[in-house]
Amino acid sequence: MKYYDKLIFELSKEGRMGYSLPRPKDNLDTCDSIPANLRRSEAPLLPQVSEVDVVRHYTNLSQMNFGVDTGFYPLGSCTMKYNPKINEEIASMPQFAGIHPLQKNLPGIEAVYQGLDSALAAITGMKHFTFKPCAGAHGELTGLMIIREYHMSRGDMKRTRIIVPDSAHGTNPASAAVCGLEIVQVKSNANGLVDVEDLKPLLDDTIAGIMMTNPNTLGLFEKDIREIAQLVHECGGLLYYDGANMNPLIGTVRPGDMGFDVMHLNLHKSFSTPHGGGGPGSGPVGVCEKLVPFFKVNVSGFNGNFGVMLRAYAYILMLGRENVKMCGRLATLGANYIKESLKDCYKLPLAQVCKHEFVFDGLVNDGAREGVAGATTLDVAKRLLDYGFHAPTIYFPLLFHQAIMIEPTETESKETLDQFIEVMRTIAQEAAQDPDLLHTAPHNTPISRPDETAAARNPILKIWDECAC
């Protein structure tokens, strides 16, 4: 146990201090200005530590974490690109950071909203965006409410069902359910794309629309999208675009041109805000012209997380019209490079050219033999941590049992990709020779394999009872 494995409360020593305040003029115990019923009867439970104790404790804790600033983070579906520090500088300017949500008459802020709205409209082919939604899933709910309102405004009350592909991100059916829509699943074909023949019989006058991600969660471009758009529109439905995978398309292809009517963007993913810890995010919703009046659906009291919008705007302006196109192209090149370099060691169920991410289905040779279990995707992911890489997304999408979903993003150099490929090959060899080494991984991290179910179901969030402080 290293000394910083202790809680800050366990470092406490009676009388040790990190600060000193001037003594109050009056003795507080006798101070009449604080009513007796508001005074503490006991001193607060605070650790008594020196400044250096605090600095070392939290600096060491911060280094037990993993972030895109410390290493490669190929977490599929999450677009963990490096976030330029200029974004942080701009978002923390007191002129922006110090504004109160109820403050009015702020032309500078208005200009940011308008500038970002037109940039996103140009990138996506939508007419306008609303910035209220605070995350992708919140954007999905907003977009679906817009679709529902649109049908209802036309007296078309039967449209209560929404089509969602079996490869969709879990938030898609979840948002549809929260919106009160019934989910109808459409299957993927052998190439991992929406099966148009399976879709056709689902289309009737009860269909509100379809939710699609393009490229989909397998990293594959839905090349039949124009035909799908025509079929859905012909039956009176609308098309919702889950824009979480917009990164490879920015500056090249627009959802509006594919036939989508409503969409969200995950500004924190594609447009660069740190998001490993789960927020704050921004999921602005864009719509085609005829849906602009339905922005009136009420999803949030305020105008979203402004700091994330500032970062996105700074990022777009910094790159400019020409460079922004390079992001998707380099991300796509990197993903295909890793895929082709590793497909002899990891099973590649869908071998075609991918966009910014792709999915392996476990190891080709997992080392299973008499009396020894083979290494699983979880084992590979845990072992990667020993080599200083964040694990890819695992066991998603649900179409494959041992899914490993890798998204390198454009900000990684070829050298980094080569190191990752080498480590993934080493792990494949280890699995073949000594799978137990993987079963017990990670070996070099502060903790090894926590009981993930217990940690989620019975988290220990307070230490008062456990520690004597």
First to last CA, the chain: 20
**For residue 194, which of 170, 218, 159, 162 has the smallest C-alpha distance?**
218
Q: How far is the CB of 434 from ligand PLP (least distance, A)?
A: 35
- Candidates 132, 148, 159, 169; binder of ligand PLP (CB under 6 A) is 169
Give the per-residue contact string, 202-231, with ligand PLP (x = CB under 6 A; - = no). Answer: -----------x---x--------------
- Candidates 137, 181, 297, 324; binder of ligand PLP (CB under 6 A) is 137
Chain positions 236 to 255 lying near ligand PLP, rule: CB under 6 A, are 242, 244-245
Give the residue at shortest CB distance from ligand PLP.
Answer: 136
Q: What phi and psi, each to the nearest 5 degrees, are found at residue 467?
A: -115, 145
Q: Which is nearer to ligand PLP, 77 or 83 (CB)?
A: 77
Q: What phi and psi, each to the nearest 5 degrees, are found at residue 41?
A: -95, -25
**For the residues of 312-361, what is the DSSP string, one character each?**
HHHHHHHHHHHHHHHHHHHHHHHHHHHHHHHTTTB--S--S--SS-EEEE
Candidate ranges 96-104, 132-140, 200-208, 303-311; the one touching ligand PLP (CB under 6 A): 132-140
Query: Could you say which DSSP state residue 125 is in?
Result: -
Tell me the residue type at 88: E
How many residues sit in the footprint of ligand PLP (CB under 6 A)?
14
Query: Could you say which DSSP state residue 293 is in?
Result: G
Q: Which is nearer to ligand PLP, 269 or 382 (CB)?
A: 269
Q: In what order do the strands lie in the sheet with 207-213?
A: 128-130, 285-287, 262-265, 238-243, 207-213, 161-165, 182-186
Q: How far is the CB of 305 from ligand PLP (least distance, A)?
A: 11
- Candidates 87, 171, 377, 402; binder of ligand PLP (CB under 6 A) is 171
In sequence order, what are the residues at sequence separation of 6 or more whose Cβ sits closer than 8 angstroms to the Cβ of residue 347? 360, 361, 362, 363, 364, 402
Q: Which is nearer to ligand PLP, 87 or 217 (CB)?
A: 217
DSSP H or E run through 112: helix 107-124
Q: Is 135 in the site for ligand PLP (CB under 6 A)?
A: yes
Q: How far is the CB of 137 from ligand PLP (least distance, A)?
A: 4
Q: Which is nearer to ligand PLP, 159 or 169 (CB)?
A: 169
Q: How far is the CB of 17 from ligand PLP (least distance, A)?
A: 42
> Looking at the DSSP assignment, which residues form a beta bridge with residue 405?
359, 393
Query: Could you say which DSSP state residue 195 is in?
Result: -
Query: Could you say which DSSP state residue 56 is in?
Result: H
Give the per-residue contact string, 266-285, with ligand PLP (x = CB under 6 A; - = no). Answer: x--------------x-x--
Chain positions 65 to 104 lying near ligand PLP, rule: CB under 6 A, are 77
Q: Which is nearer to ligand PLP, 132 or 439 (CB)?
A: 132
Write out the residues near ligand PLP by the rule CB under 6 A. Answer: 77, 135-137, 169, 171, 213, 217, 242, 244-245, 266, 281, 283
